[in-house]
Chain A
């Protein structure tokens, strides 16, 4: 009873959260001065036409002069039925623009998530079991570096070193030119090719650094809580190897709290990062689509790229909470 009831309530809450998020964007759109209408008015004024008339025409064409309730109902149905409108800047429907863009984002996003989680947890757990050794201090240093370095500046420094200096530099008589990587994305390479993998190295490194450091710190702190726990001591006393203690005893309990920060933290850090990565490396993914849409005031596209991360975050949170219930038998889901 208890668990099923919890799952039902949690799913219901995710739906409510989605409804609130979509309504919020609607409220903001209504409350804000419509950028598209301003652009239309400015364009008309530049051509010597009446700006007020152009503004009214813009508003009535899009049905923005109707009563709020009517607009709200239509807006909600459109969002839920994926009728996301036509993007002026991309000259195609929003759904088409998104379906072309997401591959380019996913091909660096997914490796970055995997690297930051797997590498972050491995280093974090390792330094927890070897606390106060040189490796541990080195790990902490890397973690501080990772959470503190501004990713856009890190990208620029890497471009400077790898893209500019390596081209002419030589170390001990060996030219470093082969190490020089493409610093701007070339969309013509097939997704699964060496050239494509090579040009994605820098974006993946830059994007994963911050979340890698976050995962490292958190997993170290979590593992430290269990490193001196009685059951770990017992396992050691029974002669279990370090590896077995790590994977069978520490990791098993630490996984539960670790998985909770996974979604919220990783997604938050990576979403913000992907805008910057795509702007710097000129990757034609969702982030760049968003930036272009904002620059040319293409409201339907801006809405879509705002709502997608929100949806992903809500679904991610839902999955994470459900996983928590399955993973940790101690969770009391009775009163929530």
Chain B
């Protein structure tokens, strides 16, 4: 929207006859298509890699990495996030600056954002720097305390019962938590937005049916349902991530529906209608972009519940043993609570701070984007 503003301002200085519409069209067209093409190319590349990885039957190694299904999804979500959040923000500096001015007032939220970005960066890059926790198994150095409790810098955060470095467990746990939080939320946003926008725009029996389903899903205790499904189909991180996405969208769906209904009466929608725009064009180009702020805020507040849920499942033992979830590490340290309290407590501090930071950022985003 700010791009349009900028265009109209630029042209406003000229006399009407002087406008070179071909030049403007070409410029606007190129900048939009350029990003879209880059994004599509990267996504096609990722999908091709994903298909190649799983079509052979046995997972194959790719340039020295062996991504799991969740890691493929995670990279797709990271690409989508870059092109649909970071790029639009960079392209609309005036809008970004306005949000930032409001957001910056909340110092705690700025600190939280920095913390989350570093957790995300460590979660993405960290496993390439530090070896997997199981390669640090060394029973000779089991139960070494962390540095601040009289340990040595060789095991900065201490070691667990098998001598695994706690720092490695925590870095790998960052990736797990970020995967759960971001992939589940991406799924929930997609379903919630489509369902909400459809319900609001089609109306009638479709609206009634969809909203009744949302009611039903909201009634269901998701955690109990998850336990039941994990019991039936076995624990895997992919399963947990996908289930949280598919059973966690009702809040976003409701929100999109009510916001869309409110905005259907807005002047710009009337203007688009008058200009002959179709129903779905209006939904796609005018309504969804305008509710995206609300959706992002709701999503930021949904992420911590998914992260906490996965950690709780892992804590109860319903997770893949090959996945180094923080919940799993915390559970493992329970038996040594009196003699080696750091095994349970340090990963918990990271989990707590991550969830807290998401809550702070989510609330600050709401204040910045939705001044009501």
Q: Closest CB of chain A to B141's CB: distance in Å?
A: 23
Chain B 342-356 near chain A by CB (<8 Å), digits 1 or 0 = 001100100110011
Q: Chain A residues near B227 (CB, 8 Å)?
A: 275, 290, 294, 306
Are A275 and B232 interface neighbours, CB within 8 A? no
Chain B 330-372 near chain A by CB (<8 Å), digits 1 or 0 = 1100100110010011001001100110011000000000000
Chain B 243-285 near chain A by CB (<8 Å), digits 1 or 0 = 0000000000000000000000000000000000000000000
Q: Chain A residues near B312 (CB, 8 Å)?
A: 150-152, 272, 275-276
Q: How far is the CA of A28 from the CA of B232 in the complex (A)?
A: 8
Q: Chain B residues near A255 (CB, 8 Å)?
A: none
Are A317 and B219 interface neighbours, CB within 8 A? yes
Interface residues contributed by chain A, number (CB under 8 Å)? 46
Chain B 211-246 near chain A by CB (<8 Å), digits 1 or 0 = 010001011111111011111110000000000000
Is B206 at the interface (CB under 8 A from chain A)?
Answer: no
Is B77 at the interface (CB under 8 A from chain A)?
Answer: no
Give the nearest-CB partner of A149 in chain B. Answer: B352
Q: Of B228, B230, B231, B348, which is within 8 A of A150 by CB? A: B348
Q: Chain A residues near B318 (CB, 8 Å)?
A: 294
Q: Chain A residues near B341 (CB, 8 Å)?
A: 160, 164
Q: Chain B residues near A157 (CB, 8 Å)?
A: 345, 348
Q: Chain B residues near A156 (CB, 8 Å)?
A: 330, 334, 337, 344-345, 348
Are A275 and B345 interface neighbours, CB within 8 A? no
Q: Of A152, A164, A276, A294, which is within 8 A of B338 by CB? A: A164
- A276-322 interface (Cβ within 8 A of B): 276, 279-280, 290-291, 294-295, 297, 302, 305-306, 309-310, 313-314, 317
Q: Which of B231, B318, B337, B356 has the most CB of A within 10 A?
A: B231
Is A147 at the interface (CB under 8 A from chain B)?
Answer: yes
Interface residues of A (CB under 8 A from B): 13, 17, 20-21, 25, 28-29, 32-33, 35, 144-145, 147-153, 156-157, 159-160, 164, 264, 267-268, 271-272, 275-276, 279-280, 290-291, 294-295, 297, 302, 305-306, 309-310, 313-314, 317
Interface residues of B (CB under 8 A from A): 212, 216, 218-225, 227-233, 304, 308-309, 311-312, 315-318, 327, 330-331, 334, 337-338, 341, 344-345, 348, 351-352, 355-356, 359-360
Q: 9 pairs across A/B with beta carbons < 8 Å?
A: A148-B355, A156-B344, A164-B337, A264-B218, A268-B223, A290-B227, A294-B227, A302-B228, A306-B228
Shortest 7 CB-CB contacts between residues of A and residues of B: A153-B348, A32-B232, A272-B223, A148-B356, A148-B355, A306-B228, A271-B221
Q: What 16 additional pairs, Cβ within 8 angstroms, besides A13-B212, A35-B232?
A: A28-B229, A147-B359, A148-B304, A150-B355, A152-B315, A152-B327, A156-B330, A160-B338, A160-B345, A264-B218, A275-B223, A276-B316, A279-B316, A297-B231, A306-B227, A310-B220
